[in-house]
Amino acid sequence: MDCVVTGGNVKVLAKAIQSLSRIGDELYVEPQEDGLALRSVNSSRSAYACFLFAPLFFSRYKWTVIGLTDVNRCKQNYSVQAVFRSLASLEKTVEKCHIELDEQKNRLTFTLHCKHGIRVPLPF
C-alpha cells in the first residue's frame, strides 16, 4: 500500500488517529480496495471504532492484493499517535504525509513532507 495525504486532509487523518487512541491501545491499519481503514478496539472488546478513508481522500492511493490472507493488515501500538500529537504545529509545518505499508518487510512508514523541503521518515 502506498498513499499520500495532502493539505487539510493531514489534519483530518491526525484527528482520526487521536480519536482511535482514546478507544484502545492498538491501531489496525487495513488497506482495502475501497479505501484505507483505521480501526481500534478496547482491551475488554466492548468498544470499537473504525474510520474508512475513501481513495478520493488521498492525492495518491495505491493498493495491491497479496493473496487471500491477512497480510494486508497491520497492527501498531500507539507510538504512531506521537507523530500526530500536536495538531497546531502539524497544520503549520506539514504539507503532505506519505504512508507506505511494506507487506514483505511488515513495516509501516509515515514520511512527513514539511515546509522548506524537510522530509521526516518515521518507520514503525
Task: For residue range 3-58, list pLDDT tens digits in order.
Answer: 999 989 999 999 999 899 889 888 899 999 999 999 999 888 899 999 999 999 99
Instruction: Provide the sign of the torsion angle of the four alpha carbons 34, 46, 16, 107, taken in this order.
Output: negative
Contact call for residues 74 and 83 (beta carbons, < 8 A)? no
**pLDDT value at residue 79:** 67
38 burial type by CB count under 10 A (0-12 exposed, 13-18 middle, 19+ buried): buried
**pLDDT value at residue 69:** 54
**pLDDT value at residue 13:** 93
Contact call for residues 18 and 2 (beta carbons, < 8 A)? no
pTM of the model: 0.84
CATH of the structural domain 2-123, one choice from 3.30.1110.20, 3.40.640.10, 3.30.1280.10, 3.70.10.10 = 3.70.10.10
**pLDDT value at residue 80:** 67
Above 90 in pLDDT, residue 2?
yes
Q: Rounded CA gap, 58 and 67, in Å?
A: 24
**pLDDT value at residue 48:** 94
**pLDDT value at residue 78:** 62
Q: What is the pLDDT of residues 53-108, one digit of tens each?
A: 999 999 999 987 766 555 567 777 766 666 777 777 777 889 999 999 887 777 88
